Amino acid sequence: MDHRTAKEYLHIRDWLTRAAHIVRAGRDAYDQNPLLQEAGDSLMMKIGEAAVRLSRAGVAPPPGISWGDAVGNRNWLIHQYDVIDRDITWATLERDLPKWSAACADAFAQALATLTAPPLDADQTPPKHPL
């Protein structure tokens, strides 16, 4: 995994973690707090933008994930902000985004390994991938 892809995946991981915090606060807190609603929207927009970048870079999504779904959600939130249905945004936060966390777990681990690996010396060659 290249560094740019790794950074995008770790951004997604962090945004999914924050979305899980919103869900843990509960639906009542979400419904009553416009800041939680805006935070959830912002996180989904960021995830969608990262999906745009990964898709443009030719990175295939993990099984069970569609970059297009995240991009479509992002576009809706950005362009239809005046008609956002909080039942739908809550369902996305509560039901869909945890599936992303699970589906991307291996990519998150690989991204972390990529960014924490010691740099190669100029005369070293990268190890052969076993696959």
83 pLDDT more than 60? yes
126 pLDDT more than 90? no
Q: Which residues of 67-95 are buried (b: 16+ CB within 10 A; e: fewer)?
A: beebbebbebbeeeeeeeeeeebbebbbe
125 pLDDT more than 70? no
pLDDT at residue number 82: 81
Q: Per-residue pLDDT tens for 18-45? A: 999 999 999 999 999 999 999 999 999 9
As a dihedral over the C-alpha atoms of residue 115, residue 121, residue 123, residue 129, rounded to 10 degrees, the angle is -20
Tell me the C-alpha distance between 69 and 91, whole Å.
14
130 pLDDT more than 60? no
Q: Give how far Cα 23 sits from Cα of 3, 48, 57, 64, 128, Å.
A: 30, 19, 31, 21, 42
Give this prediction's pTM: 0.85
